[in-house]
């Protein structure tokens, strides 16, 4: 990888924007163990199907999630399974600041 500091900073800021919304963090946690249907994710995060679908689309667009269709059901999962661990590191780092 031969990215400049500016490119790396932009990538990190882009990822941080994805998780600036608490619903998206809840989605991350919901699919941490295995892929889930849109309905299952909506129930897990306590949001409407429409709102959940919007967040899922955004996260897929940003390369955080993948989707697959099985008949009428769409399932979402994590592209990088270490994303959850990385988010937990951020939480731990923030606890250390307090």
Residue range 42-64, pLDDT digits in tens:
999 999 999 999 999 999 999 99
Residue 66, strand partner residues: 77
- Per-residue pLDDT for 95 more than 80? no
Q: Tokens 């882009």 belong to which residue? A: 14
The residue whose two tokens read 């955080």 is 64
Q: Is the whole-model pTM more than 0.85? A: no
Residue 61: HSE in the Cβ half-sphere, 13 Å Cα cutoff: 9
* Tokens found for residue 91: 């939480």
């Amino acid at each position: 990888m031969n990215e400049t500091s500016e490119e790396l900073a932009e990538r990190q800021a882009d990822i941080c924007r994805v998780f600036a919304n608490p619903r998206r963090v809840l989605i991350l946690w919901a699919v941490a163990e295995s892929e889930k249907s849109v309905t299952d994710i909506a129930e897990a995060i306590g949001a409407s199907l429409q709102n959940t679908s919007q967040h899922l689309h955004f996260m897929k667009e940003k390369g955080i999630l993948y989707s697959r269709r099985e008949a009428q059901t769409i399932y979402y999962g994590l592209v990088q399974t270490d994303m959850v661990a990385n988010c937990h590191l951020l939480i731990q780092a923030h606890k250390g600041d307090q």
